[in-house]
Amino acid sequence: MSNIINIGLLGLGTVGGGVAAVLAQNGAAINARAEGTVRIKAALVRDLAKSRAGAVPLTTAPADILTDDSVAIVVELMGGVEPARAYVLEALRRKKSVVTANKDLLALHAEEIFRVAAENGQDVYFEGAVAGGIPIIAALRTSLTADDIRSVTGIINGTTNYILTAMTEQGSDFAAVLREAQELGYAESDPTADVEGLDAARKLAILATLAFHSPVSISDVYTEGITGVTAADISYARELGCVIKLLATARKTDEGVEVHVHPTLLPERHPLATVRDVFNAVYVVGNALGESMFYGRGAGALPTASAVLSDVIRAARARMSGTQGRTGLDIDRRLPIKPGRDYRSSYYIRLKVRDEPRVFASLALFFAEADISFASIIQKPRRNGNAEIVLVTHPCRESQMEQALASVRAYSKLEKIYNMIRVWNE
Ligand X SMILES: NC(=O)c1ccc[n+]([C@@H]2O[C@H](COP(=O)([O-])OP(=O)(O)OC[C@H]3O[C@@H](n4cnc5c(N)ncnc54)[C@H](OP(=O)(O)O)[C@@H]3O)[C@@H](O)[C@H]2O)c1
Give contact residues for ligand X (rule: CB under 6 A).
Answer: 11-16, 44-47, 50, 77-79, 83, 101-103, 128, 132, 299-300, 304
Residue closest to 40 by CA, chosen among 88, 89, 6, 91: 6
Residue 77 Cβ vs ligand X, minimum distance, rounded to whole Å: 4
Nearer to ligand X among residue 75 and residue 372 (C-beta) = 75
Q: Does an H or E element contain 234, and which?
A: helix 231-239
Whole-number Å distance between alpha carbons of 360 and 363? 5
Nearer to ligand X among residue 132 and residue 263 (C-beta) = 132
Residue closest to 237 by CA, chosen among 55, 392, 22, 425: 392
Whole-number Å distance between alpha carbons of 174 and 227? 7
Whole-number Å distance between alpha carbons of 327 and 353? 58
- Closest residue to bound ligand X by CB: 13
Contacts of 322 (CB under 8 A, 6+ apart): none
- In sequence order, what DSSP letters do the residues of 375-409 get, joined into one string? EEEEEEEEETTEEEEEEEEPPEEHHHHHHHHHHHH
Residue 67 Cβ vs ligand X, minimum distance, rounded to whole Å: 16
Catalytic: which of 203, 245, 252, 338?
203
Residue 280 Cβ vs ligand X, minimum distance, rounded to whole Å: 10
Residue 103 Cβ vs ligand X, minimum distance, rounded to whole Å: 6
Query: Which parts of 71-189 fold into alpha helices (H)?
Result: 84-93, 103-119, 136-138, 158-170, 174-183
Nearer to ligand X among residue 14 and residue 230 (C-beta) = 14
Query: Known catalytic residue: 96?
Result: no
Strands 149-155, 279-286: pairing is antiparallel
Residue closest to 26 by CA, chosen among 338, 306, 219: 306
Nearer to ligand X among residue 15 and residue 116 (C-beta) = 15
Whole-number Å distance between alpha carbons of 151 and 301? 29
Nearer to ligand X among residue 159 and residue 214 (C-beta) = 159
Taking CA atoms, 73 is separated from 9, 40, 78, in Å, by 9, 10, 15
Nearer to ligand X among residue 15 and residue 211 (C-beta) = 15
Residue 17 Cβ vs ligand X, minimum distance, rounded to whole Å: 7
Residue 142 Cβ vs ligand X, minimum distance, rounded to whole Å: 20
Residue pair 52/80 in contact by the 8 Å Cβ criterion: no
As annotated, the active-site residues are 203
